[in-house]
Structure 1
């Protein structure tokens, strides 16, 4: 990383994981990288970021006819799960057998956590694992977006590796690259945002006050979920 030390990421991730440990949930909470730009792109921006490890705590397969030998790291889900895909997707990445029809609107609602798979392909499991390591950075309006980079069940070093990789990839692909990056933070849905980087002359205080006024809306891979107002740095 060229604009700040890896130790900054390690400290922030360690603090966040400690907080998550003291605020347990039934399923591991996601960890986000918040990317705040100085200037919003003129056109809609979208880029795929490849992480060293999957940021999802699990991979599930929805199929009426799953393979006789399902890989140990992929769990079966009944076809009835298609009736509530966003809820099922919150548990991790969901693979859906191409032979099943996803109810209208459900696939769009959980776009990046629902991956169609062809079980006739002998390499479907490898393709699924590769898909689990990819997340989307999208900027449609405004200057801040959240990218899922880990979960509460990850080891600290694993989470650090993912955050570092996401930071480097995000800064390399946004318009004007690092010159357009105002700030980077790491957070869980209900935690405060912990700073990783701010551009020269940019502090966190102004962003914190803005977050108090506006609250935080986290958009994770196409799913817009309103969150309660927070008292720390947030998004435009």
Structure 2
């Protein structure tokens, strides 16, 4: 969990940086409130979803307490919806619901087809709401501008009577949009609040996001705080998941008997493995062969007569010698018989 002291230091640094940059910027006719953003980095890519996750904040960014809050709501005026614009406006007026503009689905299809009309509509209001039954139809009707500026309409169940409760809960929450990546940005505080209120919002946002995302704190990699044009300051960083074996220096110098035995066995295994590799290498060796057509071998070799002299004829039995021995034996037998 992120410590409150760390968040306070990051907020103080960002506020000092903003004060130092204020005199360098050109003065604006209409002052706009700046926001503080929380960058959430996850370990894995989450499942993509269009509807945002609501993270409650102690000090709301928009709502009845803010003077310049402009809220717009899209209603379903199809015949089967059972809701008309007149009935919805009467309910808003009677219950003092903070909605400044109602737009019917049919008017959204006809009057806001051009890109310029969609861009102007996106910039005209701080937050958008819509009947949850028409949420699947809105991405095609609103265009990319609403998704780029994180102004996707928040679904509201208009069948129930607690319209005000649903809208005020959404206004007092930070909207977490889980996209197709591991990093997302959440608007958590505005600089018009006090320093203590900003810190409370940031801490509540960090703890709330960790409870909402899948696997909770196990899927959080880091949290960073930043202003629109400032650097991102880290306020939380998870430890790496690598399991490393750390051996102390004294233990490595003085191994135990079991470790010495294991070391000797490893060395013997390495030696036997090297011997096997050498045998395999020697098996396929090609020896030198002298061929008869090699001129040098012919010149240096002895003549055929010399080779015959070296070999004794008595040691080599031949077919002719065997035949003469048989004839001699036959003659001796005949002489004995004659006698």
Q: What TM-score do you get using the length of structure 2 for normalisation?
A: 0.45
Whether 1:52 and 2:58 are equivalent positions in the alignment is yes
* Secondary structure of 1:54's aligned partner: coil
Distance 1:115 1:88, change over 3 A: farther
Q: Where does residue 181 of structure 1 map in the other structure? A: 220
Aligned-partner Cα distance in 2 for 1:144–1:31? 16
Normalising by structure 1, we get a TM-score of 0.62
Tell me, yes or no, if the aligned pair for 1:59 and 1:75 is still in contact at 8 Å: no
CA-to-partner distance for each residue in 1:134-186, whole Å, 9 max, x for gaps? Answer: 23322222211001111121111111111111101111222222222111011
* Aligned partner of 1:141 among 164, 168, 180: 180
Q: Which residue of 1 aligns with 2:35?
A: 30
Structure 2 residues not aligned, in runs of 5+: 74-84, 104-111, 131-137, 242-339
Of Structure 1 and Structure 2, the greater strand share is in: 1
1:10 corresponds to which residue? Answer: 8
Which one has the largest radius of gyration?
2
Q: How many residues align?
A: 194
Q: CA deviation at 1:113?
A: 6.4
Cα–Cα, structure 1 residues 138 and 124, in superposed 2: closer, same or farther, change >3 Å? Answer: closer
State the partner residue of 2:127: 93
List, as ranges, runs of 4+ consecutive aligned residues in structure 1 with deviation greater than 4 Å: 61-71, 73-79, 110-118, 121-127
Pick the structure with more helix per residue: 2
When residues 142 and 113 of structure 1 are mapped into structure 2, their CA distance, relative to the original with a 3 A threshold, is closer
Distance 1:94 1:172, change over 3 A: closer
Could you tell me how far apart the structure 2 residues matched to 1:153 and 1:173 are?
27
Q: Secondary structure at the match of 2:177?
A: strand
Q: Contact (CA 8 Å) 1:107, 1:114: kept in 2 or not?
A: no
Aligned pair in 2 of structure 1 residues 75, 29: CA closer, same or farther (>3 Å)? farther
- CA change 1:4–1:127 in 2 (3 A) is closer
Q: How far apart are residue 76 of structure 1 and its match?
A: 5.5
Name structure 1 gaps, 5 residues minimum: 97-101, 203-236
Which of 141, 159, 168 matches 2:198? 159
